[in-house]
Amino acid sequence: MLNNVRAPITTFLAPLVRRLVDAGVSPDVVTTVGTLGVTAGALAFFTRGVWFIGTMVITAFVFSDLLDGQIARASGRSSVWGAFLDSALDRVADAAVFGSIAFWYAGGGHSLPLCGAALGCLAFGSITSYIKSRAEALGLSANVGFAERAERLIIVLVCAGLYGLGVPLLLPISLWVLLGATAVTVVQRLVEVRRQAVALEAAHTAEPVPAAAEPGAA
């Protein structure tokens, strides 16, 4: 969904990336600062129902998710630890965003069903990411499904921002849509990983067993 968007954004951010690389900024620092910014923005604004300003603050820091990878590649500082840190902190940021929305609906928003929907989005989103990372650790892949992390964030942030501008129904609708989409994505990824695992096991079973050497053979 976002493949056609990433290239122009990458080009737009290139000058900033060069400046950060020249300044010796570590991609891990950018990752950490971005996560802290997203978390602080969500907790400070979304929990109080301040949607538009909160969305602007969070969106500004979400761009670090694009910056850190570009900085790592441009500076030759890509590492296993950096990839792990980025993935781990993504879960923290997601928890802050959807958890803050759930907090609002449990209190000032006066809607336990929407609180549950936000928590469901958080839970299924985490499971979606876990399935992918676990599959890749086993040598498989799980790159299927509509509701990947970037799509989830874009949808909820756009709807939250518009909610803050006086469009009341978009945020509740987006939560129910994302709840369904992430649940379907979990099933899609489980089915895909099972398909690959079964095919891999079948291929290993079908491999011919080398015949034992006859006694006295050279």
Active-site residue numbers?
90
Nearest alpha carbon to residue 98 among 38, 165, 143: 38
Write the single-letter amino acid at 161.
Answer: G
**Residue that the structure tokens 């129904």 belong to:** 169
Token pair for 129: 């990411």
Give the sign of the dihedral formed by CA 64, CA 91, CA 193, CA 191.
negative
Token pair for 203: 């291929």
Give the sign of the dihedral formed by CA 99, CA 104, CA 106, CA 112.
negative
End-to-end CA distance of the chain: 60
Write the single-letter amino acid at 190.
Answer: L
Token pair for 204: 């290993």
